[in-house]
């Protein structure tokens, strides 16, 4: 499965904008960021590494065009959401003790946790400074302030979502609503924000801004459920994350939440035995995989992702969007809910 071509459409502009946000900053602190973003290797040499997919800035610029705007005006907002996303990844890798991301050692595993916290936190602040550039790209003051508020609100959601995610690791009573609240905050909030910001830069029509935000929310839920599927059954070579990693870390992802809801008798006993025990073992992982198979958790999770894909489509169907961008948004949505990496 390949990335849809829309990911290439704005990539050069996104990278150029991100590079210019970091341009005047020479301390090695910023080289940790450049490493994480895939521009440098750990010794500071330039490398041709794609880093991440740049999903959030792509959605931001697409939303701006879909709303009838010139995507260049939204570039500072696109860079801001990518910086927020990457800040959250640097901190998430520290919190989860993950040694690899995007097929490379994580920032903390090279420079240590204290310096990685510095790099992540400074990156979060750079997102605010990037938004300041909206002024130069022609956005009125009111929209710049609104963009700041929206980013701050969604960042708080992100952290609340991360809080819930970590607190769920030791709980066995997570309901579907609890799970949806957690992924709404952890994942959908920033994706929705990316589209809302782009739409705001493209139009004053509140129905379009809200509609694209809603699309982003539902897309975010579908995206996270697919991520949960990959976190258990994904191919390590493709995802860059260890197979079964979410089971070892005792994450309450969709399939596991569903298993706690559905598994009865011996299946439930096996599940509880693993999740109540101390250190995860390969046998324990196999035991959980058997339970998941018995209750058909994988197809149930995919059905749920497909449901949110349909909801996302419904959210934008009636909006007056530019036809080609609306088509690109649909293509992206389906890719995200069905991807294998």
Among 58, 187, 309, 325, which residue interacts with ligand GRG (rule: CB under 6 A)? 187
Which one of the spans 16-24, 25-33, 49-57, 291-299 is the region binding ligand GRG (CB under 6 A)?
49-57
Q: Sketch the per residue contact string, 151 through 180, with ligand GRG: x for CB under 6 A, - otherwise.
A: -------xx-xx------------------
CA atoms within 13 A on the CB side of 312: 29
Q: Does 132 bind ligand GRG (CB under 6 A)?
A: no
Cβ proximity to ligand GRG: between 77 and 263 the closer is: 77
Distance separating alpha carbons of residues 299 and 296, to the nearest angstrom: 6
Q: Does 339 bind ligand GRG (CB under 6 A)?
A: no
Residues 6+ apart with CB under 8 A from 260: 172, 173, 174, 252, 271
Helices 75-96/113-132 angle, 10° precision = 160
Q: Does 226 bind ligand GRG (CB under 6 A)?
A: no
Nearest to 140, CA basis, from 207, 190, 196, 73: 73
Q: Does 239 bind ligand GRG (CB under 6 A)?
A: no
Helices 55-66/323-338 angle, 10° precision = 150
Q: Which residue is nearest to ligand GRG (CB)?
A: 52
Token pair recorded at residue 191:
């994706």
Q: Does 186 bind ligand GRG (CB under 6 A)?
A: yes
Cβ proximity to ligand GRG: between 182 and 208 the closer is: 182
Percentage helix, strand, coil for the chain under 3-state DSSP, each rounded to 5: 75, 0, 25
Taking the complex as a whole, how short is the minimal distance between the CB of residue 141 and ligand GRG, in angstroms? 28
Number of residues forming the site for ligand GRG (CB under 6 A): 17
Q: Does 227 bind ligand GRG (CB under 6 A)?
A: yes
Which one of the spans 73-81, 89-97, 204-212, 263-271 is the region binding ligand GRG (CB under 6 A)?
89-97
Distance separating alpha carbons of residues 231 and 241, to the nearest angstrom: 7
Residues paired with residue 139 on neighbouring β-strands, in sequence order: none
DSSP state of 184: I
DSSP string, 117-147: HHHHHHHHHHHHHHHHTTTTTT--HHHHHHH
Among 35, 62, 67, 88, which residue interacts with ligand GRG (rule: CB under 6 A)? 88
Among 89, 122, 127, 321, which residue interacts with ligand GRG (rule: CB under 6 A)? 89
Cβ(21)–Cβ(34) under 8 Å?
no
Q: Does 55 bind ligand GRG (CB under 6 A)?
A: yes
Q: Does 3 bind ligand GRG (CB under 6 A)?
A: no
- The footprint of ligand GRG (CB under 6 A) covers 52-53, 55, 88-89, 91-92, 95, 102, 158-159, 161-162, 186-187, 224, 227
């Amino acid at each position: 499965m390949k990335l849809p071509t829309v990911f290439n459409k704005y990539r050069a502009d996104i990278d150029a904008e991100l590079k210019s946000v970091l341009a005047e900053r020479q301390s090695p602190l910023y080289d940790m960021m450049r490493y994480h973003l895939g521009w440098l290797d750990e010794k500071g040499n330039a490398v041709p590494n794609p880093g991440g997919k740049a999903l959030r800035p792509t959605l931001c610029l697409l939303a701006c065009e879909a709303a009838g705007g010139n995507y260049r005006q939204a570039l500072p907002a696109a860079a801001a959401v990518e910086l927020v996303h990457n800040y959250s990844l640097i901190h998430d890798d520290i919190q989860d003790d993950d040694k690899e991301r995007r097929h490379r050692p994580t920032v903390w595993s090279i420079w240590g946790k204290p310096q990685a916290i510095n790099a992540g936190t400074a990156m979060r602040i750079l997102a605010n400074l990037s938004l300041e550039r909206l002024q130069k790209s022609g956005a009125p003051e009111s929209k710049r302030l609104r963009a700041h508020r929206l980013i701050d609100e969604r960042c708080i959601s992100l952290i609340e979502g991360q809080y819930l995610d970590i607190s769920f690791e030791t709980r066995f009573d997570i309901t579907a609503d609890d799970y949806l609240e957690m992924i709404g905050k952890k994942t959908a909030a920033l994706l929705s924000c990316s589209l809302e910001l782009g739409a705001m830069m493209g139009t004053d029509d509140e129905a379009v801004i809200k509609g694209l935000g809603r699309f982003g929310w539902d897309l975010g839920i579908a995206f996270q459920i697919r991520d949960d599927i990959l976190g258990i059954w994904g191919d390590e070579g493709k995802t860059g994350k260890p197979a079964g990693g979410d089971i070892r870390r005792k994450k309450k992802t969709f399939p596991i939440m569903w298993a706690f809801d559905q598994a009865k008798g011996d299946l439930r006993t096996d599940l509880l035995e693993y999740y109540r025990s101390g250190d995860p073992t390969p046998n324990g992982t196999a035991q959980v995989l058997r339970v998941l198979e018995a209750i058909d958790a994988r197809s149930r999770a995919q059905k749920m992702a497909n449901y949110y894909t349909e909801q996302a489509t419904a959210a934008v169907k009636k909006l007056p969007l530019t036809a080609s961008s609306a088509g690109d948004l649909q293509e992206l949505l389906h890719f995200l809910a069905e991807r294998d990496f």
